[in-house]
Structures are given as structure tokens and as C-alpha cells.
């Protein structure tokens, strides 16, 4: 019986190691490829052991393209995150603490935005922003990213605000606090963990977005990082080292963020259908 | 009493809601209405005649064209086939991973494996496509090397229809299996500890434990997976666009990739809008089902 247990336990460990390899391999392959030189990259069959070099990183930061793109992504993602928190948290407060007609419908409308394909909005937004001269601006991206960021902020913060005891609010009311005071001085500070998690999700989603950025921005110095990374994909001999270095630069910060909120990952991606 | 505090009226919630609702209306609903209008017009911005005519109303012409367009149906069918290829794999692997992560023992390794699930989920979808192109390269791709170790002949993955389809399936399975696994893991952790421990004393068989104790807790997750994954597959663009551009031929021309091309390569925005609206209708049906199933308790 003890040997039966031991076999099971070893299989369990092997299984876990396989899971680890499965999830990390493409990531590992991207990073190691970014440290290879062109000869090593084009070796057939691929080589696993080599002298790592940071030449590709020096190369991509030598001209401004990648740096500008990362900065653009940073500007867009930070602005849209800030805006969705500013607009989303009051709405979440109302949904968490007030009863009114049409509340359920409103709630569902927020949530169903999660399902809508960006291509549905990309076409009209392209035409509309062409008419009002917003094409090729960061503003249009900041605004359109609200379509997926606002729902996530509203969802997670509503959940968080609901868990704050009502007694606090009651006693503040007796002392004459206005509704705005209560939101600003009680709900926001106490709900900060939820606000932070939703902000991180908003940042990750905006940072990673490609379709809108691809069709709404054509001017080279306004392009975001994912678009610039895909732009390498032309010509005969692709600069794989530079491509993978750029990929690593893009993916590294969001991966760190995602690990920070890993406990909430399911909640963020399902809009809380499973807790 | 209330009058002294202007913030407590019936209308208070609306002040808090208004900014978000107005914003989402302006960027979500208004463009959608505009897309519906566009779908009734002849609206090709590269055709001078259309522009000179002021993009004339053509009624249901675009919808008629969309419905009679074989490519549109082919790409919807392909999207369906893609769904049927990735989702069963993701469910089977997801349940296996969730069971391994739930089983007691190897605490540290289990935590590391659990955190590692987040990595594919956070990876920029476009970069997943780039990695896919490198891994499945005909000459120096590591996929062929793996196959070589198992003495399977190498192939030009992205150069032939079947290979390209398999390649995007593999990358999608890599990126989204962790999501499915995490959903099932959440389900498993809902099993009351006493019941699970009693069952473990009762039986040595992991299968019996799964079948009679854990399975009921996995089922709600399964519905979530089916609905969310179907809407995600309808949305899937970035990874496929970067990896194959829908090719070779139309082998990986999923619906979002196809509509994007009609809109932004052919610039037939009328037709593309009609197709996008059809896609939207499909999505609304899906999300109604999703809400029916999962948020019943709030109503």
C-alpha cells in the first residue's frame, strides 16, 4: 500500500513537471531565441545550448522604433486604465449599494461587452473617427479600450464594494457625511484591493490589444508595441532575434503584473461567473 | 431629515452611474448603430463612385451578399471546426491539470505550477503568433525537432492548409488551456473538505472520487468554458493574423480575420458591417445564454 502511494505521488510530481514545461516552454523559447545570434537562430535542427548575448536588445533599442512603441503602449494603457477606474468605480458603487429599476439590465449590459468581437466596433469606430479627425491619435485607442476595461472594473469593484460592511456607511451618515463623502472616504479606500486588481486587468488587456491599434493607427510614431512587433514580419530573411527580443520586452511587464493578480485570474477572465 | 443631505435622493445612483453609462453608450452603442446604418449602404471608401453618390442606401443588398457569399459561410464553418478542435482538448487537459493541482502533496511544486498557468494567459496574443511562427518554422522550427525525436518526418507547417490549422490549434490550446484549468480548479475547491476527505477514506480509486464526488462541482465550470470559449473563438484575431494572415489559401481564415480583411483590405465597409452585425447577433445570443445560466441569482 505504501508503495502504491509512492508510485502515485511520483506520478503526481512528474505530471506537475509536465504542466510546468507545457506552460513555460513557448515563453522560454522566446527568451532564449532573443539571446541567440542569427546563425544560432537559423541552425537546423535548433540548438539548445549557446553563448547568450544581449546584442538583439542593443539592436532594438539602438533606434527609436521599439522605444517609442513601448512608450505609446504605456501612455495608452495607463490613460485608459485611469479613465476606466475613474468612470467605473462610481458606477460599481451605485450597483453595489443602491436598488433601482433596470439595475439587472444595466448590469447585464456592462457584462455582455466582454463577449463582443472587436471587429464589430472596429469598422464603425474607424469611419467615425475618420470623420471627426480622431484617426491616428492615442485618444481614440484610450476611448475604445474602455469598451472592455469599464466592464471589468465595474464587475470586480461591485463585488468588492458589496463586501464592505454597511454599518460603516450608516455611522458616517449619522455624522452628516454626503453620499459622495461616503464613496470617496469609505468605499474607495476600503475597496482599494479590488480597485487595484481591476486596474491591473485593464492595463494587461489594453497593453496586449492588437486589432484596434492596427486599424486605427497608421502613423509610425504613434503605433503601439504589439503592432510594431508584428511589423517585423515582412521581408525575406526575418530578423528573428530582434523579433523575439521585442516580444520579450512587450510580454515581460504584463507577465509580472499577471503573476501579481494570479489569484484573481479566473474572476477577471470570466467576469466572476465562477468564484 | 433627508432633505438636509442632498446626496440621498432617489436620483443619487444615477449620478454615480451616469459617467460610465454615457461613456459606454458613446463608444459602444453609438458605433454599433452607425455600423447598422453603414450595413444598409454601398460604402466602399476606395471606390470613387460610391463616395460621389454619397454612399447610397441599398437596403438589404449587403446582407443578401453576405448570405450568398460562400467565403463568409466557409469561414464561419472553419471557426466552428476550430472551436470543435480546441475546446475538447482544452477541457480534457484542463480537467487533468486541475486534478493534479488540487491533489494534496508536493505543495511548493504545485504552487509554482499553478502560478505558471498565468504566463500563457498574460502573453500578448500577437506575440503568441510570433512565437508560433518561430516554433513552426519549416527549416529551424523546434516543432519539427520534437517530431524528429519521435521519428516523425518534419513538415512545412505554415505552408500547407492542414499544418497551418494544426499550428493555430496548438498555440490556442497552449494559451487557453490554463484558463480552462483554473476554472475547473475553482470548481474543485468548492467541494466541501469533509466530504472529499470522507470519500478518500472510503475509496482508493481516484476515478470513483472524480465520478461521484468532484464531477458535480465541475459541471458549472464546463458551461462557463463552453460559452466563454465560443465567444473568444468568434473574437480570435491577433494570434491567427500574426501567424498565418488566414492562409495558406483560406485554411485559417477564421471569421474575425475574414471580416477584418473585407473591411480593411478590400475596404468594402458596407459588406463588412453587415457581416459584423451578423457576428454581433450571434454574440448577443451567446451572451444572453451566458447571463441566463450564470447570473440567475442576481435577478
Residue A51 has pLDDT above 60, yes or no: yes
A133 phi/psi in degrees, rounded to 5: 75, 25
Residue B3 has pLDDT above 70, yes or no: no
Q: Is residue B39 part of a domain?
A: no
Q: Is residue B82 part of a domain?
A: yes
Mutation target to probe the B interface, by most B beta carbons within 10 A, among A147, A266, A271 is A266
Residue A271 banded pLDDT, cuts 50, 70, 90: low
pLDDT for position B208: 83
Which triple of cell numbers denotes residue B106? 508536493
Residue-wise pLDDT for A182-213, tens only, equals 889 889 999 998 899 899 989 999 999 999 99
B207 touches chain A (CB under 8 A): no
Sequence-ordered list of residues with C-beta below 8 angstroms from that of B64, at least 6 positions apart, any chain: none
pLDDT for position A24: 94
Cα-Cα-Cα-Cα torsion A258, A260, A262, A268, nearest 10 degrees, comes to: -70
User: Across the interface, which of A19, A120, A211 has its CB nearest the CB of B113?
Assistant: A19
Q: Mutual orientation of helices A64-97 and A103-112 as an angle, nearest 10°?
A: 160
B186 touches chain A (CB under 8 A): yes
Residue B296 has pLDDT above 80, yes or no: no
| B25 Cα to chain A: minimum distance (Å) | 9
Q: For residues B194 and B198, give the distance between their C-alpha atoms in angstroms, rounded to a whole number.
A: 6
Highest mean pLDDT among A260-264, B42-46, B160-164, B203-207: B160-164
Residue-wise pLDDT for B214-233, tens only, equals 888 888 888 888 888 888 89
User: Across the interface, which of B140, B259, B287 has its CB nearest the CB of A46?
Assistant: B140
B106 touches chain A (CB under 8 A): yes
Q: Is residue B138 part of a domain?
A: yes
Residue B81 has pLDDT above 90, yes or no: yes
| ipTM entry | 0.88
pLDDT for position A17: 95
Task: Name B101's bridge partners.
Answer: none
Residue B198 banded pLDDT, cuts 50, 70, 90: confident
Residue B299 has pLDDT above 50, yes or no: no
Mean pLDDT of A77-85: 96
Residue A257 has pLDDT above 70, yes or no: yes
Q: For residues B79 and B89, give the distance between their C-alpha atoms in angstroms, rounded to a whole number.
A: 16
User: Across the interface, which of B103, B115, B120 has its CB nearest the CB of A12?
Assistant: B103
Residue A163 banded pLDDT, cuts 50, 70, 90: confident
Which triple of cell numbers denotes residue A184? 470617496
User: Across the interface, which of B115, B131, B294 has its CB nearest the CB of A259?
Assistant: B115
User: Across the interface, which of B126, B221, B259 has its CB nearest the CB of A210?
Assistant: B126
Residue A94 banded pLDDT, cuts 50, 70, 90: very high
| A121 Cα to chain B: minimum distance (Å) | 6
| A129 Cα to chain B: minimum distance (Å) | 10
Highest mean pLDDT among A101-115, B51-65, B165-179, B272-286: B165-179
Please say whether the beta carbons of A120 and B276 come within 8 A.
yes
Mean pLDDT of B238-258: 91
% of chain A exceeding 90 in pLDDT: 47
Domain segments of chain A as ranges: 58-270
Name the residue range of residue B102's domain: 70-298
Residue A109 banded pLDDT, cuts 50, 70, 90: confident
Residue B50 has pLDDT above 80, yes or no: no
CATH superfamily assigned to domain A58-270:
MetI-like (1.10.3720.10)
Beta-carbon-side half-sphere exposure of residue B66 (alpha carbons within 13 Å): 24
Which triple of cell numbers denotes residue B70? 460562400
Q: Is residue B115 part of a domain?
A: yes
Mean pLDDT of A158-167: 88
Residue A273 has pLDDT above 90, yes or no: no
Q: Share the mean pLDDT of chain B.
A: 87
CATH of residue B281: 1.10.3720.10
Residue A77 banded pLDDT, cuts 50, 70, 90: very high
B109 touches chain A (CB under 8 A): yes
Interface of B with A in 237-296 (CB under 8 A): 237-238, 241-242, 256, 259-260, 263-264, 269, 272-273, 276-277, 279-280, 283-284, 286-288, 290-291, 294-295
B41 phi/psi in degrees, rounded to 5: -120, 160
Highest mean pLDDT among A18-22, A99-103, A158-162, B153-157: A18-22
Residue A5 banded pLDDT, cuts 50, 70, 90: low
When comparing pLDDT for A77 and A231, which is higher? A77
> Per the structure, how many domains does chain B have?
1
Contact yes or no for A120 and B32 at CB 8 A: yes
Q: Is residue B209 part of a domain?
A: yes
pLDDT for position B2: 43
Q: Is residue B53 part of a domain?
A: no
Mean pLDDT of A233-245: 84
Q: For residues B102 and B113, give the distance between their C-alpha atoms in angstroms, rounded to a whole number.
A: 11
DSSP character string of chain B: -GGG-GGGSTTHHHHHHHHHHHHHIIIIIHHHHHHHHHHTB--BTT-HHHHHTTS-B-TTHHHHHHHH-HHHHHHHHHHHHHHHHHHHHHHHHHHHHHHHHHSSS-HHHHHHHHHHTHHHHHS-HHHHHHHHHHHT-TTT-HHHHHHHHTT-----GGGSHHHHHHHHHHHHHHHHHHHHHHHHHHHHTTS-HHHHHHHHHH-S-HHHIIIIIIHHHHHHHHHHHHHHHHHHHHH--HHHHHHHTT-STTTT--HHHHHHHHHHTS-BHHHHHHHHHHHHHHHHHHHHHHHHHHSGGG-
pLDDT for position A3: 65
Task: Name B44's bridge partners.
Answer: B268
Residue A73 banded pLDDT, cuts 50, 70, 90: very high
Mean pLDDT of A8-18: 92
R_g of chain A, CA atoms, integer Å: 23
Residue A32 has pLDDT above 90, yes or no: yes
Q: For residues B92 and B98, give the distance between their C-alpha atoms in angstroms, rounded to a whole number.
A: 10
Amino acid at each position: 500500500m505504501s508503495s502504491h502511494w509512492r508510485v502515485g505521488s511520483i506520478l503526481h510530481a512528474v505530471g506537475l513537471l509536465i504542466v510546468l514545461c507545457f506552460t513555460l516552454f513557448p515563453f522560454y523559447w522566446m527568451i532564449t531565441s532573443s539571446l541567440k545570434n542569427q546563425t544560432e537562430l537559423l541552425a537546423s535542427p535548433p540548438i539548445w545550448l549557446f553563448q547568450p548575448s544581449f546584442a538583439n536588445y542593443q539592436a532594438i533599442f539602438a533606434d527609436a522604433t521599439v522605444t517609442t512603441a513601448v512608450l505609446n503602449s504605456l501612455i495608452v494603457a495607463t490613460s485608459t486604465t485611469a479613465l476606466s477606474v475613474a468612470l467605473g468605480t462610481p458606477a460599481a458603487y451605485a450597483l453595489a449599494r443602491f436598488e433601482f429599476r433596470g439595475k439587472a439590465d444595466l448590469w447585464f449590459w456592462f457584462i455582455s461587452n466582454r463577449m463582443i468581437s472587436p471587429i464589430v466596433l472596429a469598422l464603425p469606430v474607424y469611419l467615425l473617427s475618420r470623420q471627426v479627425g480622431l484617426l491616428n491619435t492615442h485618444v481614440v485607442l484610450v476611448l475604445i479600450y474602455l469598451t472592455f476595461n469599464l466592464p471589468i472594473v465595474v464587475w470586480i469593484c461591485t463585488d468588492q464594494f458589496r463586501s464592505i460592511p454597511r454599518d460603516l456607511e450608516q455611522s458616517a451618515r449619522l455624522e452628516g457625511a454626503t453620499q459622495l463623502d461616503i464613496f470617496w472616504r469609505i468605499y474607495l479606500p476600503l475597496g482599494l484591493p479590488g480597485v487595484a486588481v481591476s486596474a491591473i486587468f485593464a492595463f494587461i488587456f489594453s497593453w496586449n490589444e492588437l486589432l484596434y491599434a492596427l486599424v486605427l493607427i497608421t502613423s509610425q510614431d504613434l503605433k503601439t508595441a504589439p503592432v510594431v512587433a508584428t511589423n517585423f514580419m515582412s521581408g525575406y530573411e526575418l530578423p528573428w532575434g530582434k523579433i523575439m527580443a521585442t516580444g520579450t520586452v512587450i510580454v515581460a511587464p504584463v507577465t509580472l503584473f499577471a503573476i501579481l493578480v494570479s489569484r484573481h485570474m479566473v474572476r477577471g477572465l470570466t467576469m466572476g461567473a465562477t468564484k | 431629515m433627508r432633505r438636509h443631505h442632498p446626496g440621498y435622493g432617489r436620483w443619487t445612483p444615477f449620478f454615480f452611474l451616469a459617467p460610465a453609462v454615457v461613456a459606454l453608450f458613446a463608444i459602444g452603442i453609438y458605433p454599433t448603430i452607425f455600423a447598422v446604418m453603414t450595413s444598409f449602404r454601398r460604402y466602399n471608401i476606395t471606390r470613387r463612385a460610391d463616395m460621389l453618390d454619397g454612399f447610397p442606401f441599398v437596403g438589404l443588398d449587403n446582407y443578401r451578399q453576405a448570405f450568398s457569399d460562400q467565403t463568409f459561410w466557409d469561414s464561419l464553418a472553419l471557426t466552428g471546426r476550430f472551436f470543435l478542435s480546441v475546446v475538447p482538448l482544452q477541457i480534457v487537459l484542463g480537467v487533468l491539470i486541475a486534478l493534479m493541482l488540487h491533489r494534496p502533496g508536493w505543495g511548493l511544486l504545485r504552487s509554482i505550477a499553478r502560478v505558471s498557468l498565468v504566463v500563457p494567459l498574460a502573453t500578448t496574443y500577437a506575440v503568441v503568433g510570433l512565437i508560433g511562427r518561430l516554433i513552426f518554422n519549416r527549416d529551424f522550427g523546434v516543432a519539427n525537432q520534437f517530431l524528429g525525436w519521435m521519428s516523425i518526418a518534419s513538415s512545412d507547417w505554415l505552408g500547407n492548409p492542414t499544418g497551418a490549422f494544426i499550428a493555430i490549434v496548438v498555440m490556442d490550446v497552449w494559451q487557453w488551456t490554463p484558463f480552462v484549468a483554473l476554472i475547473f480548479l475553482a470548481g474543485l475547491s468548492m467541494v466541501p473538505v469533509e466530504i472529499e476527505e470522507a470519500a478518500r477514506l472510503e475509496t482508493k480509486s481516484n476515478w470513483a472520487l472524480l465520478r461521484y464526488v468532484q464531477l458535480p462541482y465541475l459541471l458549472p465550470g464546463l458551461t462557463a468554458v463552453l460559452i466563454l470559449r465560443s465567444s473568444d473563438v468568434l473574437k480570435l484575431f491577433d494570434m491567427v493574423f500574426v501567424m498565418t494572415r488566414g492562409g495558406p489559401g483560406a485554411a485559417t481564415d477564421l471569421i474575425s480575420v475574414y471580416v477584418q480583411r473585407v473591411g480593411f483590405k478590400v475596404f468594402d465597409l458596407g459588406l463588412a458591417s453587415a457581416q459584423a452585425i451578423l457576428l454581433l447577433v450571434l454574440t448577443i445570443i451567446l451572451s444572453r445564454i451566458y447571463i441566463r445560466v450564470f447570473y440567475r441569482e442576481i435577478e
